[in-house]
Amino acid sequence: MMWIAVATALLLAFANGANDNFKGVATLYGSSTTSYRLALVWGTLTTLCGSALSVAFAHELLLRFSGKGLVADEVLALPGFGVSIGFGAAATVLLASRLGFPISTTHAILGAMIGSAVAESNSVAWGNVGGKLVLPLLLSPLVAIVATMLLYVLLRQIRIATGVTRETCVCSGPEVIEVIPSGDFAMAAARVEVLTVSLGSATTCRERYAGTAFGVDAGRTLDALHFLSAGLVGFARGLNDTPKIAALLLMSASWGAMPSLLLIGIVMAIGGVSGAKRVAESLSHRITQMNAGQGFTANAVTAFLVTCASRFGMPVSTTHVSCGALFGIGTVNRQADWSFIRTVLAAWCITAPVAGVAAYASRWMLSASAM
């Protein structure tokens, strides 16, 4: 049973990587700052760094997601309890990744934990679930939306005050073919079509910043800051998510915290490299259009909120925070696809119930087979 528990925990880590690893770098890809492949590599490396350091900075999350205080200790000690949690959460996150929906692994784990406990005579401390876990998960996207909108307005005013302007370039890969006035979308679309035909290769539009601020090139500086902010989100995600999944290993196997965290981090990276494409497209192109400045703003808010939450043991969802930041950007620039956003919100609402049902069924089957 121990090795089955380890397998389900690793399956959840793989699913988490597929659904979550691209969330920090989605703005790099969505704003055409870099390619999908380079964004994926950067997101994977920074997430691995966060996973490696989580052993020193995220002890509280390990304790919270061990189930203590939420489920009776005698239930936690039952053989196979961690297996049903891992299976329920992994199945839910894998399904969402397959469909291209960014959902919360935190919600999936919580739902699976409750479903497994309900299967054992409803032994759930409901007061702790609501006060310590659900409330941060519900408030975090709202905080991210408001913070992103306010920060973007502030940064936009600073850009205007320093004389930095925006322009639209028609690009073929990394090469700039032509620059046209920013905001003239009709001209941009026409030039893209003409140049694509004449050059024989696909050309795209990319909005960029021109001019200098405080004596440095605005465009290059922003790109560097954008990469840095994306890396910080990946780091914060690894710091926040790795202990939640490693707790399943500690629950079911007699392993130390450090090897559990490192193993989970490695499998998360593998899942991200091999299975992130569909969620990456949703995050990068379906929630909202964005430029590099807007992407940087969303990442800065996400990295700050998730890092602070990890430091103080608050199990916020990186998914909810990062998507909330993108919702905020889409609201400010009026490019949000609210139809798709409503679909994402619906997926969030059913994540915990679906994981709970899957975990309940798994627990019931394990109990039946043991008779």
User: Residue 94's Cα: distance from chain center in Å?
Assistant: 14
Q: Are residues 256 and 324 in the same domain?
A: yes
CA angle 307, 309, 312 (to 5 degrees): 110
Whole-model pTM: value is: 0.83
Residues 6+ apart with CB under 8 A from 299: 24, 27, 226, 229, 230, 232, 233, 325
The per-residue pLDDT for range 276-294, each reduced to its tens digit, is 999 999 999 999 999 899 9
CB-CB contact of 325 with 27 (8 Å): no
DSSP string, 38-69: HHHHHHHHHHHHHHHHHHHH-HHHHHHTTTBT
User: Residue 89's Cα: distance from chain center in Å?
Assistant: 16
CB-CB contact of 89 with 108 (8 Å): yes
CA distance 148 to 327: 9
Give the pLDDT of residue 197: 46
Evaluate whether residue 327 is within a structural domain: yes
> Which residue reads 């620059």 in tokens?
179
Q: Are residues 325 and 199 in the same domain?
A: no
In this structure, what is the dihedral angle of CA atoms 57, 58, 63, 64, given to the nearest 10 degrees? 140
Average pLDDT over residues 107-133: 79
The per-residue pLDDT for range 205-235, each reduced to its tens digit, is 667 777 787 778 888 899 999 999 999 999 9
Q: Are residues 50 and 150 in the same domain?
A: yes
Evaluate whether residue 217 is within a structural domain: no
Q: How many structural domains are present in the chain?
A: 2
Give the pLDDT of residue 175: 57
Give the pLDDT of residue 227: 96
CA atoms within 13 A on the CB side of 197: 5
The whole-chain average pLDDT of the chain stands at 83
Evaluate whether residue 236 is within a structural domain: yes
Q: Which residues pair with 166 in a beta bridge?
A: 209
Instruction: Find the length of the chain.
Output: 371
Evaluate whether residue 28 is within a structural domain: yes
What angle in degrees, to the nearest 10, is found between the helix axes of 2-20 and 257-275? Answer: 50
CB-CB contact of 352 with 138 (8 Å): no
Give the pLDDT of residue 287: 96
CA distance 147 to 98: 31
The per-residue pLDDT for range 125-166, each reduced to its tens digit, is 777 777 666 777 778 899 999 999 999 999 999 988 888 887
Give the pLDDT of residue 117: 85
Q: Are residues 205 and 237 in the same domain?
A: no
Q: Are residues 156 and 169 in the same domain?
A: no
Evaluate whether residue 262 is within a structural domain: yes
pLDDT at 172 over 80: no
Q: Are residues 365 and 261 in the same domain?
A: yes
Q: Which of 180, 210, 240 is the last residue of a domain?
A: 210
Q: Which of 210, 240, 269 is the last residue of a domain?
A: 210
CA distance 339 to 145: 17
Evaluate whether residue 215 is within a structural domain: no
Q: Are residues 169 and 147 in the same domain?
A: no
CA distance 135 to 317: 11
Give the pLDDT of residue 177: 56
Q: Are residues 137 and 182 in the same domain?
A: no
The per-residue pLDDT for range 330-366, each reduced to its tens digit, is 999 999 999 999 999 999 999 999 999 999 999 888 7
Q: Are residues 51 and 94 in the same domain?
A: yes
> What's the domain range around 205?
165-210
Q: Are residues 181 and 280 in the same domain?
A: no
Shortest CA distance to 106 belongs to which of 55, 81, 141?
A: 141
Evaluate whether residue 32 is within a structural domain: yes
Tokens of 11: 């399956």
Evaluate whether residue 216 is within a structural domain: no
Shortest CA distance to 75 belongs to which of 117, 125, 109?
A: 117
Q: Are residues 169 and 27 in the same domain?
A: no
Q: Are residues 200 and 273 in the same domain?
A: no
